[in-house]
């Protein structure tokens, strides 16, 4: 257990109350709207998959042909068509795509039957997610969990088979979480590509088949090593709830899932993405997936020393959104980063203050701590030392998800040996400093306490300002990351629909029912190697 900074609890209460009010305001918007991608996710949850004869995803084809029906939701007319034709969800989607079937408003006398059948199908769809979650729990119970903080590294070759090979090598070197970086600009695509892919730029396409292949590779190496290896990808951008659905069905363990990041750094329309985020987080909550948020990126466009308080503000807002979407505390991986300019006197002291503050504000959450990138030098030796100080700050302040820095961050996409050296650095620092925080106290009135108080004060003041003007206006004004966004601009605004009073989607209720609590647990790492091999086989 770490020692604590003395915090002004009145400021904490003010900040959390303002964030709750901000989230409540956006939640009203969410409940009055639906989107293209939320309706497509609903079809995927019903069992629709695949593409048409020109490789357009069937869910896109169906939704495009049903746009006038979306204010009432696609579920009722789609299920009514299933009942009338006696066909499965997949067969109906294929028929609509071929022009042989057409969706239409459901007559009043048929509504009750359509809604009853849709509720049954929603229960079945959620049961598929529950079964995948149980499988994870079985594997973790057999293999055991890694000792935290999780060692988190990325792969990004563009070729899923190369990614799998690199991921297995990283796991053997000591990685606990593998994140597959998406190909550049996939977040701006208003569809999810289909099938396995071997070409990408700066990353690999997020597809359901790619998820399946990488999950199989990590299960294989996890059985070999006797510990469960977690898989991470991105449920963000224009297809948040669809990718969350795919991740839930293919047993991903973590997903980058944050509308604020999409709005600010990908110019995704804010009115759309908050609606999509809610459904995607309900799915992640049900699937037992840990979400990660993207506040670390704020410090790549704004100064980390002067604007560090914006990270804290956004963490409070993301906490409020996450709790409204049924996510348990152990699933809420709020983000922050080690990004103060290394030339700043006492840089590491200030980094410790910021990290310790966030750890204490959110004590139950598996915080995701990001490495230095903005000021990483071309000098690989200096970069390696800076990464070491990041690792030190992380273990000293009790961070739980450590995305490792690479000594070649400023030069090229990391190679296998770069990851090996990075993991070796982290493992040394984590083990040599594991209980250091138990042995020290923070000086009253010292640099760390004063910095934490200043950041918290400014965060509370910012949150109260955002509460007064509304989050849409705050994003328009550039309150976060010094980036301004138009509430009616950005990608995807044309895919937002005001819902009618009779809007119907039974998946919202089905995902909330039978809410489960607690992370998967198992024996200590390395304790049940034989059992893990038996389960995996």
Q: What is the mean pLDDT of residues 356-385?
A: 96
pLDDT band of 411, cuts 50, 70, 90: confident
Beta partners for residue 234, in sequence order = 256
Domain-located, residue 495? no
Looking at the structure, do residues 117 and 166 belong to the same domain, yes or no? no
Looking at the structure, do residues 162 and 105 belong to the same domain, yes or no? no
Res 529: pLDDT: 30
Looking at the structure, do residues 106 and 233 belong to the same domain, yes or no? no
Q: Mention every residue, 6+ apart, whose C-beta is less than 8 A from residue 86.
A: none
Report the share of the chain in percent with pLDDT over 90.
Answer: 91
Res 464: pLDDT: 98
| pLDDT tens per residue across span 27-37 | 999 999 999 99
Looking at the structure, do residues 119 and 162 belong to the same domain, yes or no? no
pLDDT band of 517, cuts 50, 70, 90: low
Looking at the structure, do residues 222 and 156 belong to the same domain, yes or no? yes
Give yes or no for residue 12 having a pLDDT over 90: yes
| pLDDT tens per residue across span 244-297 | 999 999 999 999 999 999 999 999 999 999 999 999 999 999 999 999 999 999
Looking at the structure, do residues 339 and 282 belong to the same domain, yes or no? yes
pLDDT band of 532, cuts 50, 70, 90: very low
Res 417: pLDDT: 87
Given 191, 261, 365, 369, which residue is catalytic? 261
Domain-located, residue 519? no
Domain-located, residue 7? no
Give yes or no for residue 320 having a pLDDT over 80: yes
Give yes or no for residue 526 having a pLDDT over 70: no
For 93, the domain range is 34-124
Given 36, 219, 354, 368, which residue is catalytic? 368
Res 524: pLDDT: 40
Q: Is 261 a catalytic residue?
A: yes
* Average pLDDT value for the chain: 94
Q: What is the mean pLDDT of residues 338-364?
A: 98
Of 452, 478, 508, the residue at which a domain comes to its end is 452
Res 251: pLDDT: 98
Q: What is the mean pLDDT of residues 190-207?
A: 95
| pLDDT tens per residue across span 135-155 | 999 999 998 888 999 999 999
Res 533: pLDDT: 29
Report the domain count for the chain.
2
Given 296, 315, 387, 418, which residue is catalytic? 296
Domain-located, residue 94? yes
Looking at the structure, do residues 185 and 115 belong to the same domain, yes or no? no
Q: What is the DSSP string of 463-476?
A: HHHHHHH-HHHHHH
Q: What is the mean pLDDT of residues 172-193?
A: 96
* CATH number where 288 lies: 3.20.20.440
Res 345: pLDDT: 97
Looking at the structure, do residues 289 and 422 belong to the same domain, yes or no? yes
Looking at the structure, do residues 99 and 190 belong to the same domain, yes or no? no
pLDDT band of 520, cuts 50, 70, 90: low
Res 535: pLDDT: 30
Beta partners for residue 291, in sequence order = 255, 332
Looking at the structure, do residues 110 and 162 belong to the same domain, yes or no? no
The reported pTM is: 0.94
Res 38: pLDDT: 98
Q: CA–CA separation, 8 vs 293, rounded Å?
A: 25
Looking at the structure, do residues 249 and 344 belong to the same domain, yes or no? yes
Domain-located, residue 100? yes
Looking at the structure, do residues 224 and 88 belong to the same domain, yes or no? no
Give yes or no for residue 479 having a pLDDT over 90: yes
Q: What is the mean pLDDT of residues 43-59?
A: 97
Report the share of the chain in percent with pLDDT over 70.
Answer: 96
Domain-located, residue 28? no
Q: What is the mean pLDDT of residues 312-329?
A: 98
Of 428, 452, 476, the residue at which a domain comes to its end is 452
For CA atoms 21, 22, 27, 32, the dihedral sign is: positive
Q: Angle at the Cα of 265 (from 339 to 313), degrees rounded to 5?
A: 60
Domain-located, residue 281? yes
Tokens representing residue 229 in the block: 């290896």
Of 124, 156, 187, the residue at which a domain comes to its end is 124
Give yes or no for residue 528 having a pLDDT over 50: no
Q: Mention every residue, 6+ apart, whose C-beta is less than 8 A from residue 245.
A: 41, 44, 45, 283
Tokens representing residue 320 in the block: 């409020």
């Amino acid at each position: 257990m770490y020692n604590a900074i003395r915090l002004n609890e009145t400021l904490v209460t003010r900040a959390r109350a303002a964030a709750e009010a901000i989230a409540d305001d956006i939640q009203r918007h969410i409940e009055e709207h639906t989107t293209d991608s939320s309706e497509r996710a609903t079809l995927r949850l019903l069992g629709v998959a695949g593409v048409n004869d020109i490789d357009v995803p069937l869910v896109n084809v169906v939704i495009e042909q049903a746009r006038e029906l979306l204010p009432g939701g696609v579920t009722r007319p789609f299920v009514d068509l299933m009942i009338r034709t006696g066909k499965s969800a997949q067969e109906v989607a294929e028929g609509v795509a071929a022009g042989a079937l057409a969706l239409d408003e459901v007559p009043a006398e048929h509504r009750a039957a359509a809604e009853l059948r849709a509720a049954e199908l929603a229960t079945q769809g959620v049961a598929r997610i529950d079964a995948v979650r149980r499988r994870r729990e079985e594997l973790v119970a057999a293999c055991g969990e890694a000792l935290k903080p999780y060692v988190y590294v990325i792969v990004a070759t563009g070729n899923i088979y190369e990614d799998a090979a690199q991921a297995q090598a990283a796991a053997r070197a000591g990685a606990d979480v593998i994140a597959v970086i998406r190909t550049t600009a996939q977040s701006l695509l208003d569809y999810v590509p289909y099938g396995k892919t071997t070409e990408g730029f700066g990353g690999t396409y997020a597809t359901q088949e790619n998820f399946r292949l990488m999950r199989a590779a990590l299960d294989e190496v996890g059985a070999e090593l006797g510990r469960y290896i977690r898989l991470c990808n991105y449920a963000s951008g224009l297809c948040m709830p669809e990718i969350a659905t795919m991740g839930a069905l293919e047993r991903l363990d973590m997903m980058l899932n944050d509308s604020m990041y999409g709005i600010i750094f990908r110019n995704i329309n804010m009115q759309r993405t908050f609606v999509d985020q809610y459904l995607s987080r309900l799915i992640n909550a049900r699937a037992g997936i840990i979400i990660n948020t993207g506040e670390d990126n704020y410090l790549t466009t704004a100064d980390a020393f002067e604007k560090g308080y914006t990270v804290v503000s956004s963490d409070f807002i993301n906490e409020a959104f996450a709790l409204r979407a049924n996510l348990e505390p152990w699933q809420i991986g709020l983000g922050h980063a080690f990004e103060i300019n290394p030339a700043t006197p006492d840089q590491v002291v200030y980094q410790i203050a910021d990290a310790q503050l966030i750890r204490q504000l959110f004590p139950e959450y598996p915080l995701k701590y990001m490495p230095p990138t903005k000021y990483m030098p071309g000098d690989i030796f200096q970069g390696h030392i800076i990464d070491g100080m990041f690792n030190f700050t992380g273990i000293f302040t009790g961070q739980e998800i450590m995305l490792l820095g690479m000594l070649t961050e400023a030069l090229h996409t990391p190679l296998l040996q770069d990851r090996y050296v990075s993991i070796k650095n982290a493992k040394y620092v984590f083990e040599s400093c594991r209980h250091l925080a138990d042995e020290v106290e923070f000086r009253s009135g010292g640099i760390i306490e004063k910095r934490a108080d200043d950041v918290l004060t400014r965060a509370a003041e910012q949150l109260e300002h955002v509460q007064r003007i509304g989050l849409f206006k705050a994003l328009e004004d550039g309150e976060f990351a010094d980036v301004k966004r138009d509430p009616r601009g950005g990608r995807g605004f044309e895919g937002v629909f005001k819902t009618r009073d009779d809007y119907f989607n039974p998946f919202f209720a089905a995902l909330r029912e039978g809410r489960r609590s607690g992370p998967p647990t198992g024996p200590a790492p390395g304790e049940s190697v034989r059992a893990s091999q038996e389960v995996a086989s």
